[in-house]
Amino acid sequence: MTYAKRYGDNKRDSKISQFLEEIDYTKNPNIYFITPRADPISIKEDSIKGLIRQNYISEIISDLHRNDYGKVLPKLMLLEKLEGKEPKSIVQNLKELDYEAILKQIEEGEIKKEKIIEEELTFSASQFTTYKRCPRIYKYNYVYRIPTLPKPYFDLGGTVHNVIEELSKKIMEGEPIDIHLAIRYLKAFWKGEGYTTEKAEREAMDDAVEILDTFIQEQQNMGTTIVEAEKNFTIKLEKYSIRGFIDRVDKDGDDYIIWDYKTSKTPMSENELRKDFQLLIYDMAVQQLFGKRPKQVGLWYLRQNKKVVIEPKDEEIQKIKDQILETITKIMDEDFTPKPGWECGNCDYAILCDEKEKLS
């Protein structure tokens, strides 16, 4: 187990996990506790260097997308310098290029566009959802692997998911759950660094407690049995493997029901759900895990305590299989045609993408 006194660019030190406090990690004779020696100056220098490097890379990609090639070379030279190399070597290498010969080779078809991606055989369910949102987001995220800026807000949804997963495990073990236990887990998973004021943190904590309280009350009325929580799966579709996690699988008599928890504010409609990659992939996963198609798949909106449920039809599953294979073919053909629209407003890569500007 490890912890850091302070993470990333946070202004405040981090709270130590409740689990570490419970085992009294500094005094516990069964624990070998070490504080690695770290030179704060070199850590700071490394992190600043990494940030500058990331900034240059983002700018270079942005320049390329804008056809602003003239700005690329100086930035490449600065990158070389940052890596401790000789920046002039880039220009010297360029001098040695025989442009006429290269142009001739392009015209005669000897130089073809290089493929940037290797054939991939394993995908995650969320890759297809990303491609559907916008193929260019897919390219930035999964091909170029450009990290997104850290979000200043705290991931309340993720923490609530973690708490519910622990509560579900307790239920599966036959143990009782209540709001006090939920709050203990919440405090253990809580990371307050994203908040700028104590008031904002307190309000978020109250919000999370309310969501958990609603969940616990609803759980008491559920007539089904939880059989899996945060179940990971890999399914086969032709030669491809698709990986993912199912939040929860319930058993109702001999039938299975899949739940995906949501903390978002706007529920999906049943019609949208019928075309949702993720949920229908979970349907296929349950069939492969338990040898039987689930009776229902649904989204459980924790905030509103609203459930949107469908009984997927065979033809809908077949359609989603066809769409997955079609999406894989497009990815392999490097078809990342952008799909500008309302997604641009929420896009982490909008700063790199020229399509958003065209919309305004």
Residues of the shown chain interacting with ligand SF4 in the complex, contacts defined by CB under 6 A = 134, 136-137, 338-340, 343-344, 347, 349-350, 353, 355-356
Nearer to ligand SF4, 276 or 355 (CB): 355
CA angle 146, 142, 245 (to 5 degrees): 120
Nearer to ligand SF4, 321 or 339 (CB): 339
Retrieve residue 60's tokens: 């270079």
Smallest distance from ligand SF4 to CB 131, Å: 11
Smallest distance from ligand SF4 to CB 143, Å: 12
Smallest distance from ligand SF4 to CB 146, Å: 11
Nearer to ligand SF4, 132 or 169 (CB): 132
Q: How far apart are CA 117 and CA 134, in angstroms?
A: 18
Nearer to ligand SF4, 135 or 312 (CB): 135
Nearer to ligand SF4, 213 or 354 (CB): 354
Residue type, 332: M
Nearer to ligand SF4, 294 or 338 (CB): 338
Q: Which of 79, 63, 62 is nearest to 71 (CA)?
A: 63
Smallest distance from ligand SF4 to CB 63, Å: 16
CB contact at 8 A, 310 and 267: no
Smallest distance from ligand SF4 to CB 335, Å: 14
CB-based contacts of 287: which residues, under 8 Å, 6+ apart?
A: 293, 294
Note the maximum CA span of the chain. Answer: 77
Nearer to ligand SF4, 146 or 183 (CB): 146
Nearer to ligand SF4, 127 or 168 (CB): 127
CB contact at 8 A, 212 and 164: yes
Smallest distance from ligand SF4 to CB 349, Å: 5
Smallest distance from ligand SF4 to CB 151, Å: 16
Smallest distance from ligand SF4 to CB 129, Å: 13
Residue 125's SS3 state is helix
- Helix/strand/coil percent split, the chain, to 5: 50, 15, 35
Nearer to ligand SF4, 126 or 287 (CB): 126
Retrieve residue 193's tokens: 């660094």
Residue 304's SS3 state is coil
- Ordered DSSP codes for 334-347: T------SGGGGG-
**CB neighbour burial string for 275-295, b if at least 16 within 10 angstroms, e if fewer:** ebbbbbbbbbbbeebeeebbb
Q: Which of 6, 31, 7 is nearest to 19 (CA)?
A: 31
Smallest distance from ligand SF4 to CB 329, Å: 20
Q: Which of 208, 111, 98 is nearest to 160 (CA)?
A: 208
